[in-house]
Amino acid sequence: MVDIIFILTPILLGYIFGSIAEKNHYKSIQEREKKFMRLPTISLKTPLNPDNITRSRLVVGNVVISVDYFKRVLAGLKNIFGGNVTSYETLVDRARREAILRLKEDAKGASEIINLKLETSSINKSAKGTIGSIEIFAYGTAIYRK
């Protein structure tokens, strides 16, 4: 019985604290996305309106988000039984949205951001084939107008 408690306690704590952290991060992302809603960010290589451009510059946003213990346990179970690893989907979604928000923050005063690109990588923990953290690097060209 004591062994089961030692196994379930970290899983339960990981679920509780991981859920709280994830909900708080999503809340922060949603608030900041409202702030930048009017800044078009597109993957096209040309501006939406090529008139009155005064300058352009490279803008970047980078984020590294760690996988919590509960998500790692769920992903391990999915690896055994197969299927989508949905426990990591929210992790990737949060990381992608956060990287784009940081890119928009770097583009202060821009009229639009073009040629948006996203690069992803996983930072492995000690065990082969496991994910410790995920990094997403967003970059693009900020267009400034008069």
- Digit-coded pLDDT (tens) for 79-94: 677 777 777 788 889 9
Phi, psi of 94 (to 5 degrees): -60, -45
pTM assigned to the model: 0.82
Fold topology of 2-145: Translation Initiation Factor IF3 (3.30.110)
Digit-coded pLDDT (tens) for 13-36: 878 888 898 899 999 999 999 999
Provide the pLDDT confidence category of residue 4 given band limits of 50, 70 and 90: confident
Share of the chain above pLDDT 90, in %: 53
The pLDDT assigned to 14 comes to: 76
Domain boundaries, the chain: 2-145
